[in-house]
Structure 1
Amino acid sequence: MTFTVLITVWRKPGMSMEAFYDHYENVHMPLIRELAGDKIPISHNRLYVERTGTELKERMVQPSECGDGIDYDAVAELNFEDEAHNLAYWKVLYAPEAQGRLTEDEYKFMDRSKLRIVSMYKKELMIRNDFHAGKDSVEKYSFLPHGKFA
Structure 2
Amino acid sequence: MAYVVLVLLTRKPDLSPEQFKEHFENNHLPLVKSLFGPLCPVPHRRLYLARADNKSGDASRALYPPLMLKGNPEDINFDCISELSWKDEKTFKGFKQMMKQPELMANIAADLELFVEVERVVVIGEVVDSLPRGWD
CA RMSD of aligned residues (A): 2.4
How many residues matched?
Answer: 122
Superposition deviation, residue 90 in structure 1: 2.3
Is the Cα contact below 8 Å between 1:35 and 1:93 reproduced in 2?
no
4+ runs deviating over 6 angstroms: none
Unaligned runs of 5+ in 2: 54-64
Specify the SS of the correspondent of 2:75.
Answer: coil
Q: If the length of structure 2 is used for normalisation, what is the TM-score? A: 0.79
Q: If the length of structure 1 is used for normalisation, what is the TM-score? A: 0.72
CA distance in 1, matches of 2:124, 2:95: 16
Specify the SS of the correspondent of 1:64.
Answer: coil
| 2:7 corresponds to | 7
Instruction: Describe the superposition over 1:30-81 as per-residue Cα deviations: whole angstroms up to 9, x where unpaired.
Output: 0011011111112111111112279x55xxxxx2337561110101001111
Percent of aligned pairs sharing the same letter: 30
CA distance in 1, matches of 2:93, 2:24: 23
| 2:62 corresponds to | none
Which is greater in Rg? 1
Is the Cα contact below 8 Å between 1:43 and 1:78 reproduced in 2?
yes
Superposition deviation, residue 14 in structure 1: 1.1
Specify the SS of the correspondent of 2:8.
Answer: strand
Give the number of the structure whose residues are more often strand, by fraction.
2
